[in-house]
Structure formats: structure tokens, C-alpha cells
Amino acid sequence: MAERVAVYGQGGHSKVIQMMLNDSVDQQIGLIADDDQAKVNEQATVKIVLADKLPDYQKEFDSLIIAIGNNEIRRKIAGKYQSMQFATVIATTAVVAKDAILREGTVVMAETVINPDVQIGKHCIINTSAVVEHDCRIGDYSHVSPAAVLTGNVQVGNNVHIGANATILPGIRIGDYAVIGAGAVVIKDVAAGSVLVGNPARKIK
């Protein structure tokens, strides 16, 4: 029987996750949760409920996925519902090494490649066509944007955002809450809380 997944959120990121679940043979959408009372619709084909009422509907889903792109909001929601089981959702077209470790709540989107001996933390987003090479480590609540490339043995902290088409060279360490701009090429370690842009990437904050 397919795992019934409750999807938290109805924005753009949620649309992609819903598509992934609709394509899956092992998972299906159980219901959708939203913070906006005006969007609640229990008569819809897929029931939409108020997020605060999720515990009342636990018999209708097996796990929860937080379909919110913002790292910090995702972290806060995960804390609020920490007693629930979280899903891990992987697109059917993603390539994930058998020995890769993906922790709860993480989403791996279409055409992504995750190579051997990779470890990815809780509630991360590995977005469309991203590449996470061998021996990389990614902390909790981080987001690797579309077409970004983490070359071998990159270490990424918690709550990190790596922009679209960014490239992180081998062995680089990126501290917690760092932001790497779109298209940046990171050639040296990044301190926690830093914002880097450009090629080669330079600190602007």
C-alpha cells in the first residue's frame, strides 16, 4: 500500500512536490495543509485542511512533507510538528546512490544526481538537476538550488542556501546560515552567516 503523505503548503514548491507524489508508485498525496483558513476545502478532490488542525487528521496520512522553500520557515514548522513522522520524497527521475543517506523530510527533485557516500540532513531541498558528488555532507534545513553542483567532499552546514547554477569546488566547507548566490563559483571555505556572490565568489556580507 502506498504511503499517504500530507503536504504542508500550496505554493510553487508544493506544486512540484505534489507532481512528484502523483508520479510515485510508493507514495500518494493524503491531504494538503495550509495556514490560510480561506484556502481550506475539505470537499476538494484532495482534501485541504487548516495546518493547525493537522493532528485531528492523523488517521488520514502516514507522514508529512513540509513543502515550503524557505529554510527557516521549514525549520520552525518541523519543530512544531516534531512528534509526527516525516516523509522523504524523491523524484522518479533522480539518480541516488544506494549508499547515500537522506534523512527525514528531505526532497530530491527531478534529474538530480546524488553520488556515493553522500549524507544529507533533515528537511533539505536538493532541487532540479542539482549534482551532489561523492563524499559530500549537507546539514539540516539546507537548500541546493536548481543546477547547482557540489563537487567531491564538500561540507555544507545547517540552514545554508546555495543558489541556482552555483559551483562549489572540492573539499570546501560552508558554515551554517551561509548564502551562496546564483552562478557563484566557491573556491575557498565560507564562514557561517556569510553571503557570497560572483566568480570567483566573494563575500558581500
Q: Residues spanned by CATH 3.40.50.20 within the chain?
A: 3-80
- CATH 2.160.10.10 residue ranges for the chain: 89-205
Which CATH architecture fits 3-80?
3-Layer(aba) Sandwich (3.40)
Rounded percentage of the chain residues whose pLDDT exceeds 90: 94
**Superfamily of the domain at 89-205:** Hexapeptide repeat proteins (2.160.10.10)
Instruction: Kindly state the average pLDDT of the residues 115-136.
Output: 98
Backbone phi and psi for residue 149, each to the nearest 5 degrees, phi listed first:
-125, 120
Residue 205 has pLDDT above 80, yes or no: no
Of the pLDDT bands very low, low, confident and very high (cuts 50, 70, 90), residue 23 is very high
Q: What Rg, from alpha-carbon coordinates, does the chain have?
A: 17
Please give the Cα distance from 111 to 128 (Å, whole number).
Answer: 6
Residue type (1 letter), 188: K
d(CA 110, CA 134): 19
CB 45 within 8 A of CB 22: no
Best CA proximity match to 48, nearest among 57, 135, 134: 57
Peptide linkage before 200 cis (omega within 30 of 0):
yes
Model pTM above 0.75: yes
Q: What is the pLDDT of residues 146-199, one digit of tens each?
A: 999 999 999 999 999 999 999 999 999 999 999 999 999 999 999 999 999 999
Q: Average pLDDT, stretch 10-38?
A: 95
pLDDT of residue 43: 84
Least confident of 39-43, 123-127, 193-197: 39-43
* Model confidence pLDDT, tens digit, residues 62-93: 999 999 999 999 999 999 999 999 999 999 99
Out of 123, 134, 143, 161, the active site residue is 134
Q: What local confidence, expressed as pLDDT, does residue 40 receive?
A: 87
pLDDT band at 42, cuts 50/70/90? Answer: confident
Q: Catalytic: 134?
A: yes
Q: For all residues of the chain together, what is the average pLDDT?
A: 96
